Every structure is written in structure tokens, then in C-alpha cells.
Chain A
Amino acid sequence: MKIGILALQGAVSEHLTMLNQLDVDPVLVKNESDLTGLNGLIIPGGESTTIARLMHLNQLMEPIKLRAKQGLPMMGTCAGLIILAQHIHEQSDVHLGILNVTVSRNAFGRQRDSFEQLITVKGLEEAFPAVFIRAPLVEDIGEDVEVLATVDHQIVAVKQGQLIGLSFHPELTSDVRFHQLFVENCRSVNKNI
């Protein structure tokens, strides 16, 4: 099974380290041709404005949008969540616009407000060590969106069909459970492959 990591900017090697611990073939995605034959795609943390700009300049925005509509599973962490979102608070332009949520950027404040916290996640038995870095929050969700985790009653993890969006960075921990969850998701969608 081939799982892509959008490799334009950000924590690419950290996601690669996670996927290397699972039974999948990771693919670094820089150009449209790299999307061929993927069974899932991870959009990493980084700077969302930079990643989005590079997606446009590399003609990746429309091809990825199209694959999402065709049901390709995707997981976005931090900046990746912002890139998936349909609405961005106080910002008119959105990026992929495929995950039915409104996100608010740098919602916890600046870097000095970045933090780690053990959080309870729906579907995971033990608490998860979540690392929030200049993190976004999910302010509002559509009807078909399931909340997976909250911090102080604010939404930090969601799932909508084949899409997972996280405010935090599982790739900065040694806890592989979110990547496992995502890979299982990809497997169930691609069970004929």
C-alpha cells in the first residue's frame, strides 16, 4: 500500500519515520506525477501559507482536490488541517477546502503559548501525547464531521469520511497510533488493492 506525504515544506521526515514503522510504502509527493497509485495522503505540519503557495506553484491544488473527491483518504496535521479546511476564520481564501470545518489559525497564541498535553481521543484506549505548536483550532464543524478530541472544550481532532484533521503533531512523538488509525482507514477504503 502506497501512502504519500506532501513533501513541499515542513515536518516531512518525521511523518516518514512514523510510516516506516508501519507496513506501507511511503512516497514523497512534490509533483502531480507522484500522486499516481496512492492509497492515502498525509499533509504535514509546516507553514500553511508556504505549503499552499508551493501547492499552487507546483499545480498540485486541483489534482489533490480531485483525488479527495474520488475518495482518497487524507490526514492533515496542524498546517495540514488548515489546508484541508473549507473555511478559515477571518480569511477569504481557502486552500483545498474539502474538510467541512471552520478553522482558526494560531488560535492558542504565539510560539510562547505552544504546549504539550495528554488528551483523550475517541477510538484510542490510552491518552495521546499531543504537541501543539502555534496550533489551529476547529471552531465549527459540519453535520457529517465527527469530533475525535477536544482540549478545554475546544475541538482539536476531527474525522469526516476518509479525512482526518488534527490541530497537533503526532509526528513529533514516538506514538504511532494516529498513523496506524489512518493506515487502517486507507486499507479499508482500498480493500481490493
Chain B
Amino acid sequence: MNNKALGTQRVKRGMAEMQKGGVIMDVVNAEEAKIAEAAGAVAVMALERVPADIRADGGVARMADPKIVEEVMQAVSIPVMAKARIGHVVEARILEAMGVDYIDESEVLTPADETFHIAKGDFTVPFVCGARNIGEALRRIGEGASMIRTKGEPGTGNIVEAVRHMRTMQRQIRQIANLSSDELMHQAKEWNAPYELLREVHTHGNLPVVNFAAGGVATPADAALMMHLGADGVFVGSGIFKSEQPEKFARAIVLATTHYQDYGKLVELSKGIGQPMTGIEISQIEPDDRMQERGW
């Protein structure tokens, strides 16, 4: 290894580890990206429409116009992520060729493949994927994802689904850690999880990659709640730029993520920051319209 080794597992997973304790914000142009960076975001997700608008507009949601992604990349010095459709290998290759720092193979976009996710291990650029439980998380890691996030229910401003997914994953990790080694194969079968990765969770007592919260974070208290539940950091999609005062909101959510156990500080952070985005009650969304059901 006297020569440079690019795109190794350590380099890809390590990139996500550098984002820990931070907030990754959805932005749709250079101006929003600068606001996010100034507020202390650890990265921005460049896209054409935030999830709340994708939900409202309907139709097919695809990878963003490369021009928007390029604009954002030129505007900020923090890492830039972008979304590819589930299974859309070519959208992912286009984003990689542009030099995007992380690809989100995302259920927020309309899936391109109903069966197969992208073989992410083949890429030099790292991937993040959504998951609702440990089996889904380990299948994505098995395909080469270097970072996991809860799916939650994007664009709703309703934290309940992200909470459900994070609690489920944390509980299942504890269950795996407590199994005896001869029970692991059965559990792998029950949860449709790759056996070798399940064994790794059993040995170390945690996921082999960073696990962020996403899908419904709308307030500083929501961000702090997800950290309290064991998230390594937070994605905020519609929550920032659909709020009344994005600058204040962005800064408050960054600070709440750092000081999630300092309730006195959270009081100050939650004061006078204007209205959060309008939320949607999950039961109002038809099961077929729930983004979290996309992928498997």
C-alpha cells in the first residue's frame, strides 16, 4: 500500500464519520446552500425540489439537473450530496462523474427499479441509503452503502416515522448483541439480513456504519429527540427552507443537535424562531403514497 488507495471502505465510511453530530440540509440553489453553510451545516443535499414539494407536485421525481448540483458545488466548501433514484445506476454514475461527495440512493425520488438497488460497492463515491429496520439497513450495507439513515416519512414535518425507524433499529441491535452465537443464523433468516453483517453487529454491538436520522425533522426539539434516540446526526429536508425564518431555523437545529442533552439551551434555541413547516398527519397519506414503502 505504498501507493494511494482510492475509494476504500475505510475512506468511504470515514467520510460519513466526519459528519457525525452534524446536520445535513436540503438545498435547491446556491443561495440556500450558502445559508446552510453559514448556519453550520456539515453538508448540503442538492436537489431540484424539497420532499414537501415533490409530494405536493406528484409525477415522477428524478435526479436533479446537473446544473443545479454544480452551482451548489461551486457555492460552498462543505461536502455536497445529491440523490439518485433507487436502482438508477446511470444517475449515480453521472453524479459520481460530476464529483458529488456522497450519493443518496433515495426513496424520495421515484424508484427506477422495483427489485434491485444499486451495487454501491462498485463506486468510488460513497452512498447513503434509507432503512426502516436492521434487516433493511444491513441489506443496503451489504450492497455497499457507507452510511445509513432512517427513512422516516419525507416531506411531512412529522417525526413519528423517523422515531419508529430509529427505535426499531436500536432495539434490534440490542437484541442481536444479546443473542448467543448459535442463534444468529436463524435471526438473519427472520430479518432478511446478511449473516456476516449480522455477526459483525453481534460482535461490536453497533452498526458498522454511521446511522443518521431523516424523514420528518421539523424543529430543533425534533433534531435533539433523534440524537437522544441514538442517531449519529440529522438530515433536514423540507424543515429548513419551508419554515418561516430559514436562517434562524437552520442555526437553531445545528445547535440543538450538538447540545441535545442541554435542556436549558434547547429552551433558548426554540424561542422566537418563527413557525416551522406545516406538518402532515401520517394517517392522511394513503399507504401507496408513503415514500418509506419504496425500496425493500
> Which residues of A approach B to under 8 Å, CB–CB?
7-14, 30, 45-47, 49-50, 53-54, 57, 78-79, 105-106, 109-118, 129, 131-134, 169, 172-173
A-B contact count (CB 8 A): 121
Closest residue of chain A to B38, judged by CB?
A53
Chain A residues whose C-beta falls within 8 Å of the C-beta of B136 in the assembled complex: none
| Contact flag A46-B5 (CB < 8 Å), given A54-B254, A54-B258, A133-B11 | no
Q: Which 9 A-B pairs have the closest CB atoms?
A: A111-B101, A115-B4, A53-B40, A9-B21, A47-B42, A110-B99, A114-B11, A172-B14, A50-B40
Give CA–CA (A117, B39) in the complex, Å: 34
| Cβ-based interface call for B284 (8 A) | no
> Which chain B residues numbered 241 to 296 have a C-beta less than 8 Å away from chain A?
254-255, 258-259
Give CA–CA (A32, B124) in the complex, Å: 40
Whether B42 pairs with A116 at a CB distance below 8 angstroms is no
Chain A residues whose C-beta falls within 8 Å of the C-beta of B38 in the assembled complex: 53
Chain A residues whose C-beta falls within 8 Å of the C-beta of B7 in the assembled complex: 112, 114
Closest residue of chain B to A152, judged by CB?
B4
Q: Is the interface of B mostly helix, strand, loop or mixed?
A: loop
Give CA–CA (A132, B125) in the complex, Å: 14
Q: What band does the interface of chain B fall in when counting residues whose beta carbon is under 8 Å from A? A: 35 or more
Whether A11 pairs with B17 at a CB distance below 8 angstroms is yes
21 of the cross-chain contacts (CB-CB < 8 Å) are A11-B20, A30-B259, A45-B17, A45-B18, A47-B18, A49-B37, A50-B22, A50-B78, A50-B254, A54-B40, A106-B77, A110-B79, A110-B99, A111-B15, A112-B101, A112-B125, A116-B11, A118-B2, A133-B11, A134-B79, A169-B14
